[in-house]
Structure 1
Amino acid sequence: VKVWTPVLLVLAGAYVGAQMLRPLPTPQMVATETSRTVDGQFSIPWPAKGQGAVRVAGSGDLGTFGEQKPVPTASVAKVMTAYVILKGHPLRRTEPGPDITVDQKTVADGTSAHESRISGLTAGQKFSQQDMLKMLMIPSGNNVARLLARWDTGSDSEAAFVQKMNAAARELGMNSTTYTDPSGLDAGTVSTATDQLKLAEAVMKDETFRTIVALPSATIKGLPQQLINNNVLLTAQGLSVRGIKTGSSTPAGGALMWAAYKTVGDEEPRILGTLMDQRVDGPDPDATNSLALVQANSKKIIEAVRGALASAPVIRKGQPVGYLDDGLGGRMPLVATKDVNVIAVPGQQLKLSLVASASPLPHTAKAGAEVAVLTVGEGDGAKSVPVAVQKDLAEPSFGTRMTRLG
């Protein structure tokens, strides 16, 4: 006893010291949910054929329909043309931007039958970038799309610009999209409704673009006639549609990318949708009737979504949304510090994302200390709320440290 007791005490002391000096595991944050579904049910009145997708900026996707396979886009391709132009040549809403000179090729293209174009141009005319974008997006000028492509790259060909369009598509995650021309006239320019919705959300962040595509008409000095937008939904009562682009051709049928709004309290969420491959039965020269069909079908969807869209309670103050795991068996609940209401439709599934405010996470904190942020929804306009520890957070106890094996 006299020999081994001191030895055992020394060993016990060494063990205690070693256990107490061991670095504590880094706390890990775990979310209790990754999504939350709004109470109730809602069904989008999709058409019988084709494909489509709808989302609300900030709250996320409402749904899709149809097989999301690449189909011709027709003039909806011009949205990407405008996106690439504005990305390379940013423009404020009130700025005219640099002058762009009309070349002989643009003039010749303006006489082409069976495609949308800006006619009456003469070589050497100069128009501002702002006015060129209006000619591109309002009456859907194919010849202007090609001119902008050549101007952007300083080339006699549109090929280099088309490469930029495809690169931008990859950056936006539009993996089922291929551009072969800047106007969409070529049937090889194909995409899906879900891909075009990604583009819609990205391009509508640009104030200049939003202003242009909301115009039912425009008068430009130097043009013999007023520009008229063939998107009839822009002037439809009770829809609050402000864009974005129509498309129609024999290969594509009717296509429409749209943006609508609804005032809910002090917010005005943007509702984005794309509808593609809409076709009428029977002869349809230049897809004129299919264009009317896609706008009529889109109108039904917009009316239904606007009618169902409302502010919904999703998270309540004090509600547990996750916990801190100290790595030694201890779990501290994390709670929302305030209510979160999201503008959504009944039955909509909302994404929940819990992200630490700082790294590493603390081992100690007072009750109510904010350690993370919970985001409800996706993209611009998503709602966020600080998340705090529910009670005082203390380091693992002496007993826990002593029994730590791993």
Structure 2
Amino acid sequence: MVAVVRTRVARTRFTMGLAVALFAAGVGPVAHAASIETIAKQAILVDITSNTVLFEKSPDQRMAPSSMSKIMTMYMVFDAIKEGRLTLESTLPVSERAWRMQGSKMFVELHNNIKVDDLIKGVIVQSGNDACIVFAEGLAGSESAFAERMNKRARELGLKDTNLTNATGWPDPNHYMTARDLSILAEHLIKDFPEYYHYYSIREFKYHGINQGNRNPLLYRGMDVDGMKTGHTEAGGYGLTASAEREGRRLILVVNGLPSMQARADESARLIEWGFREFATYALFKAGETVDQVPLWLGAQDTVPVTVPEDMKVTMARADRSGMKVSLVSNAPVAAPVKKGDVVGKVVVSAPGFPGKEFPVVAAQDVEKLGFVGRALAAAKFLIFGAS
């Protein structure tokens, strides 16, 4: 059976058969465009609008994340606020350990009680190691206990190669992440706490009479970047986790191992602009929109309408768009009964140079099985006329 469907991006052919067809390219997470290189030791660029990796270089190699691991510290803080264990107006005490903390500082005052709102800005804008210690001790009693909580949450979030020993990113051979894990964490923070993400776009913050600018260089370049966090240690080099939103698309970039602050700024800007320029995201179907009809065997009706449970979007190189092919693949006819929401096939999107992507399709309604008489008539019809 062949049906022709017009979508918002192309007129495409959907093919259903008795066997499930498989594309040789399989389901690949990485889209491909004109090649690009980077001097970063580790890098990943992801379009989270369609969950597509646009570029990667050693994304699963363990690395020193430096202050980029403060994204996890802030994830824990925002989670505590969301659960009601903290408010923005809550205050936390400054211990001598926090006050003496070296590296980048917010310059907290010894034994003072500081508002959570100010501490958040101290971590995000000023990269304050001292503020991180205040949060760790305030939420878990000690930094080591806080690190244990962070590692537990990291596993829950699907970070497969992350181990954190402190709240600041302070150099430690056992404190490591991967570029891929950082991109996943950044996406979770953006999506799980949209009401607090705006802190990452604050360009400067004054505390204790000292005004400090946000260390993220891309906030000042007018290129739609609205976060997130820089990092630097001798072991890790210069790194940046950045996010930008443009025309309905959001990209997350992680780079690390760069040789200088200038290289960090220039390489990050170049990779993000390349991602927006060379790729586009195409919306094919909205959640709940009927894709097509799938034939049924011994059903109370001959077909069942199928839909996609979530918005169906694909990101691919703009140059590959003209060769896009969208196929509905199913073991048709599907045996009745069918319940609404049952997976009855998949939509496969392919194009030259695009590795392919699959989306499940589900029944849009319940369809009961024919009764005894109906099944007998259907069997007789099949014997006389064969499959239709």
TM over 0.5, shorter chain: yes
Of 192, 209, 216, 2:178 maps to: 192
| Distance in 1 (alpha carbons) for counterparts of 2:326 and 2:129 | 39
Q: Say if 1:104 and 1:122, in contact at 8 Å, map to a contact too.
A: no
Give the aligned partner of residue 15 of structure 1. none
| Distance in 2 (alpha carbons) for counterparts of 1:332 and 1:303 | 46
Pair 1:251 & 2:235 matched: yes
* Paired residue type of 1:148: F
Of 313, 334, 347, 1:342 maps to: 313
| Distance in 2 (alpha carbons) for counterparts of 1:352 and 1:141 | 52
Q: Say if 1:45 and 1:300, in contact at 8 Å, map to a contact too.
A: no
| Distance in 1 (alpha carbons) for counterparts of 2:325 and 2:104 | 40
Shift of 1:143: 1.4
* Paired residue type of 1:398: A
Of 378, 387, 398, 2:376 maps to: 398
Q: Say if 2:126 and 2:205, in contact at 8 Å, map to a contact too.
A: no
Shift of 1:364: 7.6
* Paired residue type of 2:164: Y
Q: Normalising by structure 2, what TM-score?
A: 0.71
Q: Deviations over 1:75-122 (max 9, x none)?
A: 001000111122123289xx633111222222222xx3xx21123x32
Shift of 1:376: 9.8
CA radius of gyration, larger in: 1
Give the direction of change, closer, same or farther, for the CA distance of 1:376–1:241 in structure 2 (3 Å limit).
farther
Counting only pairs closer than 5 Å after superposition, residues 226-265 of structure 1 correspond to structure 2 as: 226-237=211-222, 239-263=223-247
Q: Deviations over 1:178-222 (max 9, x none)?
A: 1011100123311111111110111112134311111111234xx
Which ranges of structure 2 fall in alignment gaps of 5 or more residues? 1-17, 330-334, 350-358, 384-388
**Pairwise CA RMSD of aligned residues?**
4.5
Q: Say if 1:54 and 1:271, in contact at 8 Å, map to a contact too.
A: yes
| Distance in 2 (alpha carbons) for counterparts of 1:242 and 1:375 | 34
Counting only pairs closer than 5 Å after superposition, residues 3-18 of structure 1 correspond to structure 2 as: none
Q: Say if 1:51 and 1:64, in contact at 8 Å, map to a contact too.
A: no
Q: Say if 1:372 and 1:388, in contact at 8 Å, map to a contact too.
A: no
Q: Say if 1:254 and 1:292, in contact at 8 Å, map to a contact too.
A: no
Of 203, 209, 213, 2:189 maps to: 203
Of 42, 51, 65, 2:33 maps to: 42
Counting only pairs closer than 5 Å after superposition, residues 256-335 of structure 1 correspond to structure 2 as: 256-263=240-247, 268-278=248-258, 280=259, 289=260, 291-312=261-282, 314=284, 320=292, 323=294, 326=297, 332=303, 334-335=305-306
| Distance in 1 (alpha carbons) for counterparts of 2:198 and 2:181 | 23
* Paired residue type of 2:375: S
Pair 1:51 & 2:25 matched: no
Shift of 1:371: 6.8
* Paired residue type of 2:273: E
Q: Say if 1:305 and 1:345, in contact at 8 Å, map to a contact too.
A: no
Q: Say if 2:285 and 2:313, in contact at 8 Å, map to a contact too.
A: no
Give the direction of change, closer, same or farther, for the CA distance of 1:311–1:106 in structure 2 (3 Å limit).
closer
Give the aligned partner of residue 128 of structure 2. 141
Between the aligned residues of both structures, percent identity stands at 18
Counting only pairs closer than 5 Å after superposition, residues 360-371 of structure 1 correspond to structure 2 as: 363=337
Which ranges of structure 1 fall in alignment gaps of 5 or more residues? 1-28, 281-288, 355-360, 378-382
Give the direction of change, closer, same or farther, for the CA distance of 1:83–1:392 in structure 2 (3 Å limit).
closer
- The structure richer in strand per residue is 2
| Distance in 2 (alpha carbons) for counterparts of 1:276 and 1:82 | 20
